[in-house]
Amino acid sequence: MTSPLKVPKDTVFSRNFSLNCGGNLVDLSTPKVMGIVNLTPDSFFVESRKTSNDSLIEKVGQMLEDGATFIDLGAMSTRPGAAEISVLEEKERLINPLKLLVKTFPKALFSIDTYRSVIAKETIDQGAHLINDISGGTFDKNMFATIAQLKVPYVLMHTLDKPSTMQQNPIYTDVIKEIFQYFSNQLTQLRELGVIDVVLDPGFGFGKTLGHNYSILKHLNEFGHLNAPILAGISRKGMIWKLLETSPKEALNGTTTSNTIALLNGAQILRVHDVKEAMESIKIVDFYQKQ
């Protein structure tokens, strides 16, 4: 595919971004890792599901020890075909574990994977530090105003539709150009509300075919024109294990390969199930780029 934005190959985007997380300034000049912890019974990767306090503390502790900067907590599965749960159920799955983790790991930075503004507000009030919204503000009209009020970093993701239907024949005229325009429009709204810290996530696997996903990976650096850090959430997804004809459980090597490509193409945050391996990718790519 020819780059629709015609970005020169020698274009270098600034990686000198930072995020203000509750007074903690996180420097993204070296990429960081966001560890995935699912408080759900039905997320696509079984090993990421943590429903007991002991297993939750053990998992998060290991991720932090392995080098995770952020821990991303999700209480509603957003895998393709997943059904929506009620606000009450999402809250019941999320609040007590969050309280426990904030108390156990007071210096950790917790991200909340939600597209509901009421959940965003309550979890930030309970000690979370940033909001990761798969809908980029399109599922809840109050989300942007809530983020502006809370003054927290916001992960703005692209999806074609809700998880229940997003993989039903996704079609784009030009996937890179359309996601770029979407980001531009949403960023304008957020900037007008005074939101400063925004991270862009192109939404691998969210309303995309295999070809769309790899085109996004190949042209990830084009989103650098928007002057915001980029998050790559590729870990163990179908774009890896379907191509390799394996399974999510067997997709670690493919994930590491894909994360390495994402880093070389400008990703500042890797959202992953396997923190240690992601940290190793960052270390190798960082050393390689400095030579």
Catalytic residue among 121, 271, 276, 283: 271
Instruction: Over range 230-242, report the average pLDDT.
Output: 97
pLDDT number for residue 171: 87
**In this structure, what token pair is assigned to residue 62?**
């290991």
Active-site annotation holds for 79:
no
The answer to whether the Cα torsion of 26, 198, 98, 203 is positive or negative is negative
Q: In the predicted model, is pLDDT for residue 170 greater than 90? A: no
Question: Is 115:139 a contact under the CB 8 Å cutoff?
Answer: yes
pLDDT number for residue 78: 74
Beta bridge mates, 270: 33, 232
Q: In the predicted model, is pLDDT for residue 8 greater than 50? A: no
Q: In the predicted model, is pLDDT for residue 52 greater than 70? A: yes
pLDDT number for residue 226: 96
What are 105-159's pLDDT values in tens digits?
999 999 999 999 999 999 999 999 999 999 999 999 999 999 999 999 999 999 9
Name the amino acid, one letter, at 187.
Answer: L
Instruction: Over range 180-195, report the average pLDDT.
Output: 98
pLDDT number for residue 9: 42
pLDDT number for residue 43: 54
CA distance 190 to 145: 8
Domains located in the chain, CATH noted = 18-289 (3.20.20.20)
Q: In the predicted model, is pLDDT for residue 174 greater than 60? A: yes
- pTM of the complete model beyond 0.95: no
> What's the whole-number average pLDDT of the chain?
90
pLDDT number for residue 263: 97
- 117 Cβ contact partners less than 8 Å away, ≥ 6 residues apart: 140, 142, 143, 145, 146
What are 249-276's pLDDT values in tens digits?
999 999 999 999 999 999 999 999 999 9
Alpha-carbon dihedral angle through residues 105, 111, 115, 116, given to the nearest 10 degrees? 40
Active-site annotation holds for 237:
yes
Percent of the chain with pLDDT over 90: 81
Q: In the predicted model, is pLDDT for residue 3 greater than 60? A: no
pLDDT number for residue 262: 98
Cα-based distances in Å from 102 to 1, 78, 129, 268, 281:
45, 24, 10, 25, 28
What are 25-40's pLDDT values in tens digits?
999 999 999 999 999 8
The more confident residue out of 8 and 240 is 240
What are 276-288's pLDDT values in tens digits?
999 999 999 999 9
pLDDT confidence tier of residue 240, bands split at 50, 70 and 90: very high
Catalytic residue among 99, 236, 237, 276: 237
Instruction: Over range 96-108, report the average pLDDT.
Output: 97
pLDDT number for residue 164: 64
Beta bridge mates, 67: none
pLDDT number for residue 157: 97
CA distance 132 to 168: 24
pLDDT number for residue 47: 60
